Each structure stands twice: as C-alpha cells, then as structure tokens.
Amino acid sequence: MSTPQLHVPQIAQDEIDRAAAAGRGVVKHTPVTTSAALSERAGGQIVLKAENLQRTGSFKIRGAMSKLDSLGDAARAGVTAGSAGNHAQALAFAARHAGVPCEIFVPSGAPISKMAACRGYGASIVEGGDSLDDAVMAARDRAVERGMVFCHPYDDVAVVAGQATIGRELIVDVPDVRRVIVPLGGGGLASGAAIALKHHDPSIQVIGVQVAACAPYANMPAGGGPIVTLADGIAVKRPGEITRPLVEQWLDDIVVVDEESVADAMVLLMERAKLYVEGAGAVGVAALLSDRVAPARTGSTCVIISGGNVDLGVVPGLIRRHETMAGRRLIVFARISDRPGGLARLLTLFAEQGANLIEVEHVRDGVDLHVRETGVQAVLEVKGRAHANDVLAASRAAGYIVTEVTGR
C-alpha cells in the first residue's frame, strides 16, 4: 500500500518519546482486557484495548497533550478548533492543563452534552454554521484574528505521535500481539499505532476499519450531504495530507463494515464485555463479528476500542433491535372485541403464557376492522424464538387473529 508520489512524513522514535512524556500524569495507561465471548465467536485470542476508559472518554487526549506540548510558548495566546466531538473535549482538557485559553467552534445543533463537557474543562464554545466544515473555517479565522493556534484533530505530526503512544502500551501489555484492528477516520490513530508497533516488530499486522457510510481510504467517499452513521466519530470525508501517506505506507489492510454490524458490536460490548463504547470505537469488533477480519492464527489479536462517548439517545434503539433479533422481543397485532373486558382477556392470555407486557396501544385507523372490533398492538418480552411461537400459537388457539409485526 504505497503511493510514491506523496511525501511521507517521518515520525521518529524520539518524537513518540516526547509525546509520551507530554501526556505523563494526564493520559491514562488504559487497560487491556480479554474477551472470552468474542474469542470464542471469532476463533482466536482476542483482547480489547479500552480507550473508552481514557480521560475525556477517548484516545484523543493523547494527541491533544502532544500537540500542546509541541507548541511551547506559541500556545500562550490560546488554541482553537472546529469540532463537535472527542477532539473538542480532549483539546479543552489539554488546554486547561497547560493553562492556556481554548475556543471550540461547533456547528448548530451540536450535542448539548459534549458542549457542556467542553465548558466544564474551561473552554469557550462558539456555536454557529450549518456543518463541521463551517465550524473549522471559523476556528481557523479566529486563530488568525487573535494569534491563536488552530489544532487539527488528526492531520498533524505531533498529534500522530501522541496517538502512537497507544502502540507503545500494546507492546508492553500484549507481548504476543500479532494483529491489531483499529478504527480509521482521519488516520491519526491508525497510522500512529502502526508506526509504533511496526518500529518494534514489522511483522505485526495493523488493519484499519472504516464504516460504509464514509470510507474514503477504501475509495468509498460519502456524498455531499450530512453523514448518518452510528460511527460518526470516524466519518471523515477527506484523508489528511499528512495522514494519508502514513496510512498507505504503514497499514497492512483496510476493511469496511456496515451499520448493522456496528450496532451488533456496540450491544455485544455492553452485554458481554461490560464496556460502554461509541459506534466509532466499536468498528473493530464489528469487523470481527462480520468476518471482515480474521484473528491471527497465533498469538493475540488486539482490537482498539477508541472511545466511549455514546449518544445516550441511540442506546434504547440498539437494545430494542438486539432483543428483537435475538427473539426476546415479540410484537403482535391482534383483533379483539371492542367491548368491556376484550383487552383484559387478551392480556391475561399473554400473562398465562409467561410473556411480559412492555407496551400496548389501540390501533383503529388505517386497519380494516369490523364495527365491533378494535386492533391492538402489543410489545412482549419473551424467552426466545420458541417461546414467541408458543405465545402466537396459544393466542390463535384461543380464537384471536394475531399477526407478528416485524421490522420495528
């Protein structure tokens, strides 16, 4: 994977040493945990590097601390960035630690929780513009106007060196690591980790994972409109001038996963690994679950879990989807008598079959019903597919016209 026409920046070991020293006392040496469930399912020894437990909730603090340290007195007037996510929080925290002003420009409608986190770290938030590109442009203008330093989230040698400290930790914590699976957005994390690992042992494979909604490194660019994906943290439309040649030189392969596999990975990590992981952080596990990447034949395969700043609004939908697919959630539509006691008798039947009622609603519009009938849609918690079939069979045996509702 090389493109000779592109200049490939050199990131020396002493630059990674400097970045590691810059983060000392702030950047956590995050744990590596084994996953018996994932190892059994994938057919190899799988370990997880839990950067979701990192300070500010993602690996980004590594690059931010490295960048601030590299600036020295140049940062005295302050730093600025355009971001609505993990980079903003990391830069705000690093700026507070360095004792310099920080302004974060965010697009209109940016998550309130993330803006609140940045303010909590002492940053000033400037909201405006319709897109992240607008916010970045405004941040660049402010840097020129006030003599501040614009800090790019990934396309910066100092940032890449900071992210490389993850690879350094893996060499110590997983001495038998043979393959590393890493989220690939702008490329700072993937290239940094690969450089550190391959300087230690060139035979270690590093595989980047992108999401189908936006995968420019895999020649699948997103369209011109907003990108809708669970993995919004890696939905970067354009590779960086610095990171693109690094990714092409140092990564062994790039794979693409779909939204369904990302959703499955997020739930599996919550349910089996007890890790709360955002979509971008879960793409490596998604690649294993969807057989896009196989574990190494010998030694350990490490998946870098890059962040845990989950939008709480998506979690109920993920759980509902998982329960339905696992056969633990049954949605039925039934026709019942529109007389007193009609609904009570149906719900009693469900209870007698051991189904737990989650919600129920009358449906009268848009359905062909007899004048003395009403429609009822019920959501039931069941023990599995066989139990769901028993509930349906018992309802029909009792004379109800019951249809299972799918696709919710």
CATH number of domain containing 101:
3.40.50.1100
Q: Which two tokens stand for residue 358?
A: 């989650």
**Contact status, residue 56 vs residue 90, Cβ threshold 8 Å:** yes
Domain-embedded: residue 45: yes
Identify the segments of the chain with pLDDT beneath 70: 1-6, 223-225, 364-371, 407-408
- Using CA atoms, how far apart are residues 193 and 202, in angstroms rounded to an integer? 12
The sign of the torsion formed by the CA atoms of 281, 286, 292, 295 equals: positive
What is residue 45's DSSP assignment?
E
Confidence at residue 193, expressed as pLDDT on a 0 to 100 scale:
98
Confidence at residue 364, expressed as pLDDT on a 0 to 100 scale:
66
Give the chain's length.
Answer: 408
Final residue in a domain of this structure, among 283, 317, 351: 317
**Contact status, residue 65 vs residue 79, Cβ threshold 8 Å:** no
**Contact status, residue 405 vs residue 333, Cβ threshold 8 Å:** yes
Residues 313 and 331 in one domain: no
Q: Which two tokens stand for residue 78?
A: 């302050």
Which residue, 368, 370, 375, 366, is CA-closest to 332? 375
- Using CA atoms, how far apart are residues 389 and 382, in angstroms rounded to an integer? 10
**Contact status, residue 47 vs residue 34, Cβ threshold 8 Å:** yes
Residues 19 and 128 in one domain: no
Confidence at residue 141, expressed as pLDDT on a 0 to 100 scale:
95
Residues 130 and 177 in one domain: no
- Using CA atoms, how far apart are residues 49 and 33, in angstroms rounded to an integer? 7
| Other beta carbons within 10 Å of 92 | 27
**Contact status, residue 282 vs residue 307, Cβ threshold 8 Å:** no
Residues 165 and 234 in one domain: yes
Domain-embedded: residue 176: yes
Q: Which two tokens stand for residue 57?
A: 């909730």
Single-letter code of the amino acid located at 45: Q
Hey, is 164 helix, strand or coil?
A: coil
Confidence at residue 159, expressed as pLDDT on a 0 to 100 scale:
97
Residues 243 and 338 in one domain: no
Domain-embedded: residue 2: no
Domain-embedded: residue 1: no
Provide the residue range defining the domain that includes 83.
78-147
Hey, is 19 helix, strand or coil?
A: helix
Final residue in a domain of this structure, among 274, 294, 317: 317
Q: Which two tokens stand for residue 252?
A: 């062994």
Domain-embedded: residue 201: yes
Residues 21 and 92 in one domain: no
- Where residue 394 sits, what CATH number does that domain have? 3.30.70.260
106 bridge partner residues: 127
Domain-embedded: residue 99: yes
Residues 250 and 104 in one domain: no
Domain-embedded: residue 268: yes
Residues 169 and 286 in one domain: yes
The number of domains in the chain is: 3
Domain-embedded: residue 299: yes
Residues 287 and 354 in one domain: no
Residues 301 and 345 in one domain: no
Residues 126 and 260 in one domain: no
- Using CA atoms, how far apart are residues 342 and 372, in angstroms rounded to an integer? 11
Which residue, 258, 237, 239, 236, is CA-closest to 248? 239
Hey, is 404 helix, strand or coil?
A: strand
Residues 308 and 374 in one domain: no
Final residue in a domain of this structure, among 91, 116, 147: 147
